[in-house]
Structure 1
Amino acid sequence: MAYHHHDLHRALVDAALDLVTEEQAWDFSLRKVARRAGVSHNAPYNHFTDKRALLAEVAASGFRLLQQHLFAAIADEPDAKQALFRLANAYVDFASDNPALYRLMFGPMLADGHQNRPDVTIEAGAKAKTVLVGLLQRGAAAAAFSFHPENTEGLETAHLTVWSALHGLASFVVDRKAETNLPEGKLADLVLTLLLNGLANPKNRESQDNG
């Protein structure tokens, strides 16, 4: 099959993404990727320095898919809190439906000897997080959340808190380590509800505020 240079690059990434999805692993060879794409076994080396570089592009594709998935989940929900519940469920569902890809996106596989991750993966991951950031900003502007929309520290803290909770929950679900009797389909809702309401007893919070 004949490809233009850019098209072949994309075809190799898509072939590797398909293999990760089908095999739920990434221990396949570059030769196998080339066969899946229908090109010579040397073709991948014209586009990627090594397998890690190809897998970095696969992980970046995963982040772009996650970004699209999250955006689609909240696109038609005007209420920021309800949209946040939709986003939480969409995030956990994405991880549950794509366990190997999720591990590749967030795991240590792509880090080099200095724990640095490829730029293409970092950039795609940062863009995926903008969906949550935008939602939190929208909610703050509507007074749905406790921080002011111009409070940068409040926004960053809220983003880190929610993303950490969702990533931790998704990782537990993917690796079957949640060790809970709670229904899996309601985990995101339950965790997010507690996160929004807080652990402290409302009466104790009130007395602390008055004190």
Structure 2
Amino acid sequence: MIGRRRSTGQHHGGLRKALEEAALALVAERGPHGFTLAEACRRAGVSVAAPYKHFADRDALLVSLAVKGYQEQDRRFTEACSASEDPTEQLAALAAAYVRFAYEEQALFDIMFNAGLDKTRHPELAEVVHALFDTLLPIARRVTGTEAAAFDLLICMASAAHGLAFFLQEGLPGDVQAPLAAAEERAARTARALVEQQLREASSPTTEDSEHGRESPRFSCG
């Protein structure tokens, strides 16, 4: 009886995709540091020499997935913003989308933030992160008026959403019936509160600033 052979289609155009899918499955099982490139090859059904046509090492494979993760975030954020013309509501939708992405794409999210990838060695990763901020900064700037304050606001929002996403993944007590919806609502509510705080601070310069005609301090979530 002749044994069934593995499909060899992945040795051509589908090799890169097969390796990425295998790595993503392994990350979901063991985390971004819990497997080797050889294991990804075995999971994909290819020889251990095959990946070097596309990836120099495991980090290069993870970088490719991280890039896809940031691109998917960008797509989701753009879609979330399209539901409203109000910048405050757009930022609230962004925060909720951040939480949903982390919940629905846990392996990608883990790679993006926990793999310890060096952006100086992989400029393509730095470029996609900058592209994501290029999407978000104009929205925040409609609230803050300056790019520096807009960046601060985004970092504060992302920090809050990131924490909520982490709590959601850890399954902390509360909102057992609809944990994702509750986390999304908290993220949106926090974003609105941060915008409100920014607007309050922007319209209330300190006494010293008023006396000397200086610009009021930049918004900070610290």
- By the TM > 0.5 criterion, same fold? yes
Q: Is the 8 A contact 1:85 1:192 kept in 2?
A: yes
Structure 1 residues 170 and 85, CA, compared in 2 at 3 Å: closer, same or farther?
closer
The yes-or-no answer on 1:118 pairing with 2:117 is: no
* Aligned positions, number: 192
Corresponding residue to 1:166 among 157, 167, 170: 157
| Gapped regions of structure 2 (runs ≥ 5) | 1-7, 176-181, 212-222
The yes-or-no answer on 1:39 pairing with 2:35 is: no
Q: Is the 8 A contact 2:80 2:94 kept in 1?
A: yes
The structure that has the greater radius of gyration is: 2
Q: Is the 8 A contact 2:91 2:192 kept in 1?
A: no
1:135-174 paired onto structure 2 within 5 Å:
135-136=139-140, 140=142, 145-147=143-145, 154-158=146-150, 160-174=151-165
Letter in 1 for 2:196: N
1:17 Cα offset (Å): 2.6
Deviations 1:149-206 (A, max 9, x none): xxxxx12321x223312332233234439x998953432123212211117978x938
Q: Is the 8 A contact 1:92 1:169 kept in 2?
A: no
The alignment-based identity, stated in percent, is 28
State how far apart, in whole Å, the 2-side matches of 1:53 and 1:44 are: 10
With the length of structure 2 as denominator, give the TM-score of the two structures. 0.70
Deviations 1:57-88 (A, max 9, x none): 11111111111111121224233222221111
State how far apart, in whole Å, the 2-side matches of 1:157 and 1:206 are: 15
Q: In the alignment, which residue of structure 2 is the partner of 1:189?
A: 188
Q: In the alignment, which residue of structure 2 is the partner of 1:90?
A: 97
| Gapped regions of structure 1 (runs ≥ 5) | 148-153
Q: In the alignment, which residue of structure 2 is the partner of 1:71?
A: 78
Structure 1 residues 128 and 210, CA, compared in 2 at 3 Å: closer, same or farther?
closer
Q: Is the 8 A contact 1:14 1:58 kept in 2?
A: no
Letter in 2 for 1:136: A
